[in-house]
Chains A and B, each alone.
Chain A
Amino acid sequence: QSVLTQPPSVSAAPGQKVTISCSGSSSNIGSNFVSWYQQLPGTAPKLLIYDDDQRPSGIPDRFSGSKSGTSATLGVTGLQTGDEAAYYCGTWDSSLSAGVFGGGTKVTVL
């Protein structure tokens, strides 16, 4: 099983907001920066958020990241059909001495 825990799926109507949680521990999320990735069907993951809340150039501000304690959250506002994808969180785990990911959350636009 994945080191980081994400809900398997979330859904919302177009134009609404979804939030995706990523739960970890003091050795990973609690002490290191978190990144988020979007994986559209049949494609490679794409970086959405790095260092907890920073967006790479070209990523719209509809996507946001936050963190509190040992949990991180990805928010997507103004949901579009093109946002239907799997979303993964990732970070460094200082106890495992390895990069770790969540199991992924499938976003469905109703």
Chain B
Amino acid sequence: QLQLQESGPGLVKPSETLSLTCSVSGGSIRGSTYYWAWIRQSPGKGLEWIGNIYYSGSTYYNPSLKSRVTISVDTSKHQFALKFTSVTAADTAVYYCARQKYGWGSGRYYLSFDPWGQGTLVTVSS
């Protein structure tokens, strides 16, 4: 079955760049139906969608975060990555990668995430 695993530094200094990688196993990252997403959860708070990438490299970002976010994909390594620039303490969160189903059907947008990686805590502190 498809599995996702996040990796990257658990501690980042303020104003620096947060970089995480999501490794996909048990299935193809090239699936035409799906996108690949990053979602974060601040301590004790809810979920925030960061953005997604298609295997072709096309991306879409949350407009509220767009200026600081870059998502990329390496299909040969079955990985996709997140870069988040100029981080502050407010960016401290558990970061999840997930497979995203997204599209337009029956006159409405559909959006869901399954499966998710286990998540990785990133703390922004000097």
Contacts and interface: CB of A to CB of B under 8 A. Distances in A.
Contacts of A90: 47, 49, 111-113
A44 B96 contact: yes
Interface in A9-27: none
Contact of B111 (A33, A44, A103): A33
B113 A92 contact: no
A100 interface: yes
Interface string A83-96: 00000101110101
Chain B, interface residues (CB within 8 Å), range: 20 to 34
A63 interface: no
Interface of B: 37, 39, 45-49, 62-64, 96, 100-102, 108-119
11 contacts: A32-B108, A44-B116, A45-B116, A90-B47, A90-B111, A91-B111, A92-B109, A98-B64, A99-B37, A99-B62, A104-B46
Given A46-B115, A47-B115, 16 more contacts: A32-B110, A33-B111, A45-B113, A46-B114, A47-B114, A50-B114, A51-B110, A51-B112, A92-B109, A92-B111, A98-B62, A99-B37, A99-B62, A103-B45, A103-B46, A104-B46
